[in-house]
């Protein structure tokens, strides 16, 4: 039996019975428990492939490679080979490595490429179609991390994904809905119609095959990095660009390289938290959030106290104001990371918070120093050897720019929207950017992705991350607080309804059921504006319990699943 068929035979019952809990449920559920190793990802098939990889002797990096490529098949809204992301790796010897495999602007990109003759942003020009795509980094990233830390043969890690793409798999209800929603945009933006994705109506239980993607994965399996950035696949990408007036060239592909960067590390109470540095804003932002919120007695107040919610919201406003002004690609702009994370600076920011009144966002500016439907995906892995991986990857919007590379079978990203098309103008997530994130050739766009690993007293404690565009930072922040300050289990912390503030627009966004009518009145009395929205994030996390067993927190907002042994 093929590996993919084995996975399907195990998971078909799970695919049809997975039911998200109500967002009004706040019970402290205990998640899936494993003795030795665990994967939590956006799809049960991908999680099981990661576990099978480790059962066959692979480590967390081997599993990460296998899971990443599996998600490119079974979760094409965000799993990808046409996008990019960030990865944090903690070895069992307590060493940390962080890989930036974020996309880059093509060499032909320029500052005003999405502006009309009057200097106004052309609506949706950076979101859909060929010119919205940055140079993909995912394949180079997986190749680089495997070359440095992998132990199993590259071909072995890609084979399950090749089998899935060629032999097909069963759609969940969520996946069928996703495909139905993008049917018209597929027709609008593709130069060669991807007929295999278009039906009058997809439904749960339908099988889907990605035959061209299987061939592309076979080339990557056989030739490694060169199977994507050179040869037939590169030619197909560039031909697609030419048909749709895109910008990516053979030279852009050939010259792309992921970058090993220093991670962001900081302390909170007796915990050490390690996350991604720029061009991800995640590590700096959560560092500021934890440094600011440390000045408030959250545990004493409790998870639903209005003072707790108010302090978190006001801290989020401050962090996002700094994000807009200071953060970008460190290869292009000088980023004051040390100053942003300085304890004295964040103490002063904390003291500026008035617990009796909300600060209007227009009155909040970036500090002065005295010395990202939101479709990303995340997976967390702990292996039987004690190594851990936290990786977040994306096409940006759901199914990226909606363009499937003709003959290659995969979606391209729309990451150019993460630049400031015009400094001061909001992107698709409402995030306002500044000069530091203006478009430049070969520059990496600012990201909110926040893959994170937490230690407690020097020992591995938590692996966590989420999709969600601009809400990624606040979702990771609140999930960690739910465990550390409010004593929730990992699954309970992931389940718990979330809220979000990003400075501008000046509004608290919350999931249904997070605030009851009394809480709403109290928050409005403090001067806050509120709105209810759909699910915020899809956190996938692992907690190391006191007995050294692993608890998985798989987000019920999607088809996410934990697997382990």
List active site positions.
Answer: 376
DSSP letters, 428-487, are TT--B--GGGB--TTPBPPB----EEEEETTEEEEEE----GGGHHHHHHHHHHHHHTT-
Q: What does the CA dihedral 409, 411, 412, 417 come to, rounded to 10 degrees?
A: 170
> How far is the C-alpha of 300 from the C-alpha of 296, rounded, in Å?
9
- Among candidates 396, 393, 463, which has minimal Cα distance to 141? 393
- Burial degree of 441 (CB within 10 A; 0-12, 13-18, 19+): middle
> How far is the C-alpha of 188 from the C-alpha of 21, rounded, in Å?
36
What's the token pair of residue 70? Answer: 């599996």
Spatial contact of 273 and 454, defined as CB atoms under 8 Å apart: yes
> How far is the C-alpha of 291 from the C-alpha of 400, rounded, in Å?
34
Where on the phi/psi map is residue 229: left (φ > 0), alpha (ψ -120 to 50), or beta? alpha
Q: Tally Cβ neighbours within 10 Å of residue 513.
A: 13
Spatial contact of 69 and 81, defined as CB atoms under 8 Å apart: yes
Spatial contact of 409 and 382, defined as CB atoms under 8 Å apart: no
> How far is the C-alpha of 94 from the C-alpha of 381, rounded, in Å?
15
> Can you tell me whether residue 129 is helix, strand or coil?
coil
Please provide the distance, in angstroms rounded to a whole number, between the alpha carbons at the two ends of the chain.
Answer: 22
Spatial contact of 86 and 145, defined as CB atoms under 8 Å apart: no
Phi/psi at 489 (5° precision): -65, 170
> Can you tell me whether residue 112 is helix, strand or coil?
coil
Q: At what angle do helices 343-351 and 306-326 cross, to 10 degrees?
A: 130
């Amino acid at each position: 039996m093929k590996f993919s068929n084995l996975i399907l035979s195990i998971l078909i019952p799970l695919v049809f019975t997975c039911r998200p809990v109500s967002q009004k449920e706040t019970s402290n559920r205990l998640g899936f428990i494993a003795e030795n190793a665990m994967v939590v990802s956006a799809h049960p098939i991908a999680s099981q492939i990661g576990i099978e990889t480790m059962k066959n002797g692979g480590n967390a990096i081997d599993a990460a490679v296998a899971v990443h490529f599996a998600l490119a098949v079974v979760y094409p809204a965000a799993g990808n080979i046409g996008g990019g992301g960030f990865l944090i790796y903690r070895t069992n010897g307590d060493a940390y490595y962080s890989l930036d495999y974020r996309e880059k602007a093509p060499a032909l990109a320029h500052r005003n490429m999405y502006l009309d003759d009057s200097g106004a942003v052309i609506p949706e020009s950076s979101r859909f179609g060929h010119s919205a795509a940055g140079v993909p980094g995912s394949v180079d990233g997986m190749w680089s991390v495997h070359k440095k830390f992998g132990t199993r043969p590259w071909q072995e890690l890609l084979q399950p994904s090749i089998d899935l793409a060629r032999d097909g798999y069963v759609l969940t209800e969520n996946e069928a809905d996703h495909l139905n929603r993008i049917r018209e945009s597929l027709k609008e933006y593709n130069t060669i119609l991807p007929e295999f994705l278009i039906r009058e109506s997809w439904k749960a239980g339908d099988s889907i095959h990605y035959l061209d993607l299987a061939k592309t994965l076979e080339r990557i399996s056989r030739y490694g990095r060169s199977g994507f950035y050179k040869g037939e696949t590169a030619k197909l990408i560039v031909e697609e660009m030419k048909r749709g007036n895109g910008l990516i060239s053979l030279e852009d592909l050939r010259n792309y390289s992921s970058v090993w960067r220093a991670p962001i590390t900081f302390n909170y109470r007796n915990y050490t938290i390690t996350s991604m540095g720029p061009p991800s804003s995640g590590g700096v932002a959560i560092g500021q959030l934890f440094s600011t919120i440390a000045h408030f007695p959250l545990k004493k107040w409790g998870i639903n106290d209005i003072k707790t919610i108010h302090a978190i919201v006001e801290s989020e406003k401050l962090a996002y104001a700094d994000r807009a002004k200071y953060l970008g690609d460190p290869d292009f702009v000088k980023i004051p990371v040390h100053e942003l994370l300085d304890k004295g600076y964040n103490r002063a920011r904390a003291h500026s918070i008035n617990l009796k009144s909300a600060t209007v966002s227009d009155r909040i500016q970036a500090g002065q120093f005295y010395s990202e439907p939101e479709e990303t995906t995340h997976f967390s892995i702990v292996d039987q050897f004690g190594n851990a991986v936290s990786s977040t990857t994306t096409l940006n919007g759901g199914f990226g720019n909606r363009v499937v590379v003709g003959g290659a079978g995969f979606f391209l990203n729309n990451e150019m929207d993460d630049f400031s098309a015009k400094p001061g103008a909001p992107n698709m997530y409402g995030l306002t950017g500044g000069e530091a994130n203006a478009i430049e050739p070969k520059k990496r766009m600012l990201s909110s992705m926040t893959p994170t690993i937490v230690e407690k007293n020097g020992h591995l404690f938590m692996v966590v991350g989420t999709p969600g565009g601009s809400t990624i930072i606040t979702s990771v922040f609140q999930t960690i607080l739910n465990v550390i300050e409010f004593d929730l289990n990992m699954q309970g912390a992931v389940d718990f309804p979330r809220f979000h503030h990003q400075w501008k627009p000046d509004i608290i966004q919350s999931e249904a059921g997070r605030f009851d009518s009394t809480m709403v009145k109290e928050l409005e009395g403090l001067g806050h504006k509120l709105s209810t929205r759909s699910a915020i994030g899809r956190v996938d996390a692992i907690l190391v319990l006191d007995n050294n067993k692993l608890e998985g927190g798989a987000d019920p907002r999607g088809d996410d699943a934990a697997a382990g042994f």
